[in-house]
A = this chain, B = another copy of it.
């Protein structure tokens, strides 16, 4: 196969006809597929069904320290859940709070508290004229949704091979007191699968923020979500590094079991310095008496410990690895030599990040949709949904069955080729 860019106008016109016919054929199948979100499949959810038997009507629902998990109380979660989630984040249980079913909700509440009350005594952000957040791009749309909702100015930071462009991060954070935060998914970034290098983590820990209330929002969503046993990303411990650098309070870390047990009914946690944890709890205590401790207990009794968790994650990898591989093979085979796209080959996480030719992403996603395949909206991985290149498409291969994924991949590849040819013909 030749690169499309080497084709003559006549060859492109011929190709367009063929692709258009192929597309019409696919469209006629009346597909109805949705691969827009990073959701686990039924097969993955089934892996955790044994957890539903861990607690029953004869169980003692007391936590290790004798707390009755059924009753009120326990703002920071039960001790054994703090231990388990602390192990995931590499943090002492005393620096962990276990919440309800959503780490996104924890992050939102951290931002909301900062807006309403400030951070450890700082001015509430609602009293400031301007708040800015740094947004490594492409990134997680729901992160950007939170900061957009609050009217913060979002600043794109290119995500490089080994993490965000730290020259830019340092420039902004160390000089502009309006910069109050940065969104990070440091291991297997959503959607690129990027693993932050040790150097990047150290540069984060050694920031000298102009704002005393600047915080790194370290969303360690895929801390244990490896695709391969033999090749795994590894991440330096940000809490330790910040402490070492004399910046113990500069980071909030988050994680959850949403993609370990049940996406709607897992447990989520945050970790931070003792001063941050005390600050968060001093506000939280007005918002709730405590989160669902029975579900915390259910999780701990199911997994027992961190080893139990990582063993369980191998079962997930066995289900989703073939999907990633099938999709990547298809992309390699069909697009590998055409010079019209690049994509990531992640070692973990939930996504493949696909870059089409400039100005083609929206059209590709629209064409897929027209033929019954819903993908994440083009631009979704950028603040305000605005991809300046209109190039990036997030692919979420986990939810569909292998058969559905094959059909989706065929259609997607056809749409990429067709839109690219059209683009080249315009030139």
Complex contacts, A57 vs chain B, CB 8 Å = 49-53
Chain A 64-88 near chain B by CB (<8 Å), digits 1 or 0: 0000111111100000000000000
Complex contacts, A283 vs chain B, CB 8 Å = 149
Known interface pairs A49-B57, A150-B116, A294-B264. Does A287 touch B105 (Cβ–Cβ under 8 Å)? yes
In the assembly, what is the distance between CA of A49 and CA of B61, in Å?
10
Complex contacts, A150 vs chain B, CB 8 Å = 116
8 A Cβ contacts from A27-65 to B? 37, 39-40, 42, 45, 48-53, 55-59
Q: Is the CB of A52 within 8 A of B45?
A: no
Query: Which one of B72, B102, B127, B145 lies within 8 Å of A263 (CB-CB)?
Result: B72
Known interface pairs A56-B53, A108-B288, A116-B115. Does A70 touch B264 (Cβ–Cβ under 8 Å)? yes
Q: Is the CB of A105 within 8 A of B288?
A: yes
A295 interface residue, CB < 8 Å from B?
A: yes
Query: Which one of B42, B70, B142 lies within 8 Å of A262 (CB-CB)?
Result: B70
A101 interface residue, CB < 8 Å from B?
A: yes
In the assembly, what is the distance between CA of A295 and CA of B291, in Å?
13
Known interface pairs A74-B264, A265-B294, A295-B295. Does A286 touch B145 (Cβ–Cβ under 8 Å)? yes
Complex contacts, A108 vs chain B, CB 8 Å = 286-288
Q: Is the CB of B295 within 8 A of A104?
A: no
**Interface residues in chain A, defined as those with a beta carbon under 8 Å from any beta carbon in chain B:** 37, 39-40, 42, 45, 48-53, 55-59, 68-74, 100-102, 104-105, 108-109, 112, 115-116, 124, 126-127, 142, 145-146, 149-150, 258, 262-265, 283, 286-295
A-B contact sample (9 more), CB < 8 A, given A51-B57, A109-B287: A40-B71, A45-B68, A45-B70, A69-B265, A70-B262, A112-B116, A142-B286, A264-B290, A292-B292
A-B pairs, 4 with minimum CB distance: A265-B294, A126-B126, A70-B262, A108-B287
Selected A-B contacts with CB under 8 Å, 22 pairs: A39-B71, A49-B57, A50-B57, A52-B56, A56-B56, A70-B263, A72-B264, A100-B101, A101-B292, A102-B289, A104-B288, A108-B286, A108-B287, A112-B287, A116-B150, A126-B127, A142-B286, A142-B289, A145-B286, A146-B287, A264-B294, A265-B293
